[in-house]
């Protein structure tokens, strides 16, 4: 299932959401070379989050092959301490990047609408750090570098579940060569997504060092739960009230109330 859009109008331009998308895209193009050369694997190795480096549970000098002729080794560089933040702006491929940015655009603009730009950015980063913490807690000795905005975006999705559970989200379903767009309530989409993450993550609990399918799903779960728990603290009641008033005047309130 791929989200394409929702029936949730905004009353202010989602400037911060656009800036985050621009920042992530710029890092992909300028720092990671758009995946076209060895800057991709080197950036993942150097700037990716490696739990064992932060906890000290990985043996210095150990590591894993990350590309032909290149091993990503454990070190004690100072930059390791900021990798939980830096890794949010890195990706492993075009599909990884585009998928994350699509989710961020569909769900992020409305969350920014009720938080304001600065609060939204702080919320986004805090959820990303919570996601990193969950990943480290599940596998503290891992030597596998992880990258991606998925944890932070999962927090945005958790916030959306709390604030707009009944909004219709148009989902693209792909069945081999058959494509269909089906509108579904946000709570169905997001709860189903969370259940899938948990089902994929449970096997990892018994296999330290394993990331099933190359996805750090416990980071997704941690970010999502952080979003659910923190959204009310970051929501701006004044912006929320103003938004509802404007949508009511425009006759659009029914869309976000799901009726």
Q: What is the pLDDT of residues 92-102, one digit of tens each?
A: 999 999 999 99
pLDDT tens digits along 228-258: 999 999 999 999 999 988 988 888 777 666 5
Terminal Cα distance for the chain, rounded: 23
The helix-helix angle for 150-163 and 94-115 (nearest 10°) equals: 40
- Confidence tier at 193 by pLDDT (50, 70, 90): very high
CA 99/CA 21 separation, integer angstroms:
12
Q: Give the model's pLDDT for residue 207.
A: 64
Pairing of strands 63-67, 70-73: antiparallel
Higher pLDDT, 102 or 60: 102
Q: Give the model's pLDDT for residue 259.
A: 44
Cα atoms found within 13 Å of the Cα of residue 107, Cβ hemisphere only: 32
CA 191/CA 225 separation, integer angstroms:
12
* Number of neighbouring beta carbons within 10 Å of residue 121: 16
Q: Whole-number mean pLDDT of the chain?
A: 90
Token digits for 142? 């891992």
The helix-helix angle for 117-138 and 94-115 (nearest 10°) equals: 130
pLDDT tens digits along 131-188: 999 999 998 988 999 999 999 999 999 999 999 999 999 999 887 777 889 999 999 9
Whether 208 has a pLDDT exceeding 60, the answer reads: no
CATH number of 7's domain? 1.20.1540.10
**Number of domains comprising the chain:** 1
Percent of the chain at pLDDT exceeding 70: 94
Q: Give the model's pLDDT for residue 204.
A: 72
Q: How is 117-135 classified by DSSP, letter by letter?
A: HHHHHHHHHHHHHHHHHHH
Cβ pair 91, 148 in contact under 8 A:
yes
Percent of the chain at pLDDT exceeding 90: 72
Sign of CA dihedral 150, 154, 160, 166: positive
- In terms of residue numbers, what domain contains 252? 2-257
Q: Give the model's pLDDT for residue 219.
A: 95
Average of per-residue pLDDT across 36-45: 92
Q: Give the model's pLDDT for residue 120.
A: 98
Q: Give the model's pLDDT for residue 76.
A: 86
Residue 174: Cβ-neighbour burial (10 angstroms; 0-12, 13-18, 19+): exposed
pLDDT tens digits along 67-84: 787 888 888 889 999 999
In this structure, which long-range contacts are made by residues 175-183, counting pairs with CB atoms below 8 Å and at least 24 apart in sequence?
181/4, 183/7
CA 18/CA 158 separation, integer angstroms:
20
């Amino acid at each position: 299932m791929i989200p394409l859009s929702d029936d949730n109008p905004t009353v202010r331009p989602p400037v911060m959401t656009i800036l985050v998308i621009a920042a992530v895209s710029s890092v992909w193009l300028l720092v990671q070379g758009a995946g076209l050369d060895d800057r991709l694997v080197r950036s993942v190795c150097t700037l990716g989050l490696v739990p064992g480096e932060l906890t000290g549970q990985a043996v210095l000098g150990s590591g894993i092959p990350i590309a032909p002729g290149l091993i990503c080794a454990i070190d004690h560089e100072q930059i390791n301490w900021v990798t939980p933040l830096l890794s949010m702006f890195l990706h492993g491929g075009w599909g990884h990047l585009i998928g994350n940015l699509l989710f961020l655009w569909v769900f992020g603009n409305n969350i920014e609408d009720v938080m304001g730009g600065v609060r939204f950015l702080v919320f986004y980063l805090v959820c990303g750090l919570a996601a990193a913490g969950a990943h480290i807690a599940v596998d503290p000795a891992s030597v596998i570098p992880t990258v991606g905005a998925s944890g932070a975006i999962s927090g945005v999705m958790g916030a959306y579940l709390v604030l707009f559970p009944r909004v219709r989200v148009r989902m693209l379903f792909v069945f081999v060569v058959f494509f269909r767009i089906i509108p579904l309530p946000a709570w169905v989409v997001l709860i189903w997504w969370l259940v899938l993450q948990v089902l994929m993550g449970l096997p990892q609990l018994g296999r330290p060092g394993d990331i099933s399918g190359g996805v750090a799903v416990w980071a997704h779960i941690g970010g999502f739960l952080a979003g659910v728990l923190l959204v009310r603290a970051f929501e701006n009641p004044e912006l929320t009230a103003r938004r509802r008033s404007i949508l009511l005047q425009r006759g659009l309130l029914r869309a976000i109330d799901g009726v």
